């Protein structure tokens, strides 16, 4: 299958902040021919040290391309890419600012009559610190990157402008995360194929484009990386997610030829799973994991049990479809159903339980909407919103979707975040401006687990589960 990507070239839309001796700084905002010449009529002159922060208007996955006219000698510049203005201003190590997975803070050298690209990361903002004593004449700086591009089979065409904005931002998020030919978690951090995390991304791609090379290539990659009896990404639950992703994708797009090729691996995987559930239904896996907010919390075992039940049911359907013995899968499901799935508060676990069993108690159903969008998960948004739509009606689910995703938009998001907590809204600023004194930085002052502060990804593909939800509802 052919990979589908296109190149984006984005000129700066706004100068957020500058300091130093600049002449004609606004020329950076003008669209110009991307070729350096011996006689450039329009450029910015930088004398001595100084800095400028550029806003490219939306998140991009790529590089900064510098077209430099003249310098007084080899000139160094420090580049700091950021998904927020605050991130571009941070020193490495401050509030989680880092070069993990993609370098975003480095010193480079500019020279006469040059056209050079620097680094490769996810960003919307760029701070350029000019480290020089002489004079530099810079023609332009553009953001240049790749984005997944294919013929769509579905686009939201309803009249609700808020839903349209949510849909389009979610689409850009997942398209950026597929720009490498594989499905990444995020374009700045976690440029990896985390198979469990891929469920919402896969369903988004299937909804938008139908059968996709980028999905199947990623699924093949993780199988090749995980010879049995290993667990995908080192986590048993992620192997369960693989069964769910593979099955739901194949059914949705009609890729049964692809599904059938995976049956030998799936048969052995189900047998392995069966060996890790006790006769009384006890989970004997070497580690449980649903997502970070529920990790090591009371609801985690019920969440893993629900994922396991869904995977077992999908396996049974597949084995029947292709005439394969269902004995191990049936036995696994029977054992899993011997124990209940109590849930104290986690909305994502309640939603998984609903998908596993098709029902919730009235108390559990009410917990899904208690506090509105508080407790929602970007990763699990498809499951949570679908359960709410089924149990409380589509209008309730739509209103909560707009409350949750709209809050990110209102803080300047052009892609959706790895995690978002409604409690972060109180007393915090926007991602597209310096945080005013006395307010909290919604990027740098929050986050948890592996995504504290500026390490937090503001373009995470798993947030795009809202796309299939919008279509289905």
State pLDDT tens for residues 35-65. 999 999 999 999 999 999 999 999 999 999 9
The per-residue pLDDT for 74 is 72
Considering only CA atoms, which of 133, 143, 132 is closest in space to residue 108? 132
The per-residue pLDDT for 3 is 66
Give the mean model confidence (pLDDT) for residues 18-41: 97
Give the mean model confidence (pLDDT) for residues 122-147: 96
Considering only CA atoms, which of 137, 146, 175, 163 is closest in space to residue 44? 137
Whole-number percent of the chain with pLDDT over 70: 99
Residues 6+ apart with CB under 8 A from 461: 173, 174, 176, 177, 178, 183, 184, 185, 186, 197, 198, 200, 201, 204
Domain 161-472 has CATH 1.50.10.10: yes
Residues 6+ apart with CB under 8 A from 429: 411, 435, 436, 439, 440, 441, 442
Which regions of the chain carry the CATH code 1.50.10.10? 161-472
Residues 6+ apart with CB under 8 A from 28: 12, 15, 44, 52, 54, 138, 140, 141
**How far apart, in whole angstroms, are the C-alpha atoms of residue 335 and residue 340?**
11
The per-residue pLDDT for 134 is 87
Give the mean model confidence (pLDDT) for residues 424-443: 97
Cα-Cα-Cα-Cα torsion 381, 383, 389, 390, nearest 10 degrees, comes to -170
User: Taking all residues of the chain, what is their mean pLDDT, rounded to a whole number?
Assistant: 97
Give the mean model confidence (pLDDT) for residues 272-283: 98
The per-residue pLDDT for 1 is 43
Domain 5-148 has CATH 2.60.120.260: yes
Give the mean model confidence (pLDDT) for residues 234-242: 98
Give the mean model confidence (pLDDT) for residues 338-347: 97
Q: How confident is the model at residue 107 (pLDDT cuts 50, 70, 90)?
A: very high
The per-residue pLDDT for 132 is 84
Phi-psi region of 243 (alpha: psi -120 to 50; beta: other; left: phi over 0): alpha
pLDDT in tens, 142-186: 999 999 999 999 999 999 999 999 999 999 999 999 999 999 999
Give the mean model confidence (pLDDT) for residues 327-353: 98
Phi, psi values for residue 329, rounded to 5°:
-65, -40
The per-residue pLDDT for 467 is 98
Which regions of the chain carry the CATH code 2.60.120.260? 5-148
């Amino acid at each position: 299958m052919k990979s589908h990507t296109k190149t984006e070239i984005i000129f700066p839309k706004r100068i957020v902040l500058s300091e130093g001796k600049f002449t004609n700084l606004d020329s950076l905002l003008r669209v110009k021919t991307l070729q350096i010449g011996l006689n450039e009529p329009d450029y910015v002159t930088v004398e001595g040290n100084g800095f400028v922060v550029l806003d490219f208007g939306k998140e991009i996955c790529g590089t900064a391309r510098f077209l430099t006219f003249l310098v007084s000698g080899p000139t160094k510049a420090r580049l700091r890419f950021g998904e927020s203005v605050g991130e571009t201003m941070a020193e490495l190590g401050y509030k989680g600012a880092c070069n993990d997975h993609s370098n975003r803070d480095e010193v480079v050298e500019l020279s006469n009559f040059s056209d050079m690209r620097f680094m490769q990361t996810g960003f919307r903002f760029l701070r350029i610190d000019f480290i020089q004593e002489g004079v530099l004449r810079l023609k332009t700086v553009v953001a240049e990157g790749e984005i997944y591009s294919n013929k769509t089979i579905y686009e939201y065409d309803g009249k609700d402008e808020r839903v349209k904005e949510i849909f389009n931002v979610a689409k850009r998020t997942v398209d950026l995360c597929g720009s490498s030919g594989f499905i990444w978690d995020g374009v700045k951090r976690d440029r990896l194929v985390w198979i469990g995390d891929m469920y919402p991304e896969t369903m988004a791609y299937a909804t938008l484009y139908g059968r996709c090379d980028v999905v199947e290539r990623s699924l093949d990659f993780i199988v090749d990386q995980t010879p049995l009896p290993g667990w995908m990404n080192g986590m048993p639950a992620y192997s369960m997610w693989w069964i769910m992703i593979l099955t739901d994708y194949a059914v949705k797009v009609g890729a049964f030829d692809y599904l059938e090729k995976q049956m030998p691996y799936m048969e052995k995987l189900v047998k392995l799973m069966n060996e890790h559930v006790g006769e009384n239904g006890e989970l004997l896996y070497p580690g449980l994991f649903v997502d970070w907010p529920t990790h090591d919390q009371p609801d985690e075992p019920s969440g893993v049990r629900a994922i396991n039940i869904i995977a077992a049911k999908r396996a049974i359907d597949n084995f029947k479809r292709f005439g394969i013995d269902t004995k191990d899968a049936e036995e696994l499901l029977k054992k899993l159903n011997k124990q209940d799935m109590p849930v104290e508060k986690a909305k994502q676990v309640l939603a998984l339980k609903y998908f596993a069993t098709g029902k919730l108690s009235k108390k559990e159903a009410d917990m899904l909407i208690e506090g509105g969008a508080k407790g929602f998960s970007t990763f699990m948004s498809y499951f949570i919103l679908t359960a709410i739509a089924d149990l409380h009606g589509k209008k309730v689910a739509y209103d909560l979707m707009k409350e949750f995703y709209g809050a990110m938009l209102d803080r300047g998001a052009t892609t959706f975040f790895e995690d978002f907590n409604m409690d972060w809204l109180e007393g915090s600023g926007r991602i597209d401006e310096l945080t005013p004194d006395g307010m909290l930085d919604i990027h740098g002052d929050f986050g948890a687990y592996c995504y504290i502060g500026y390490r937090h990804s503001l373009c995470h593909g798993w947030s795009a589960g809202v796309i299939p939800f919008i279509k289905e509802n």
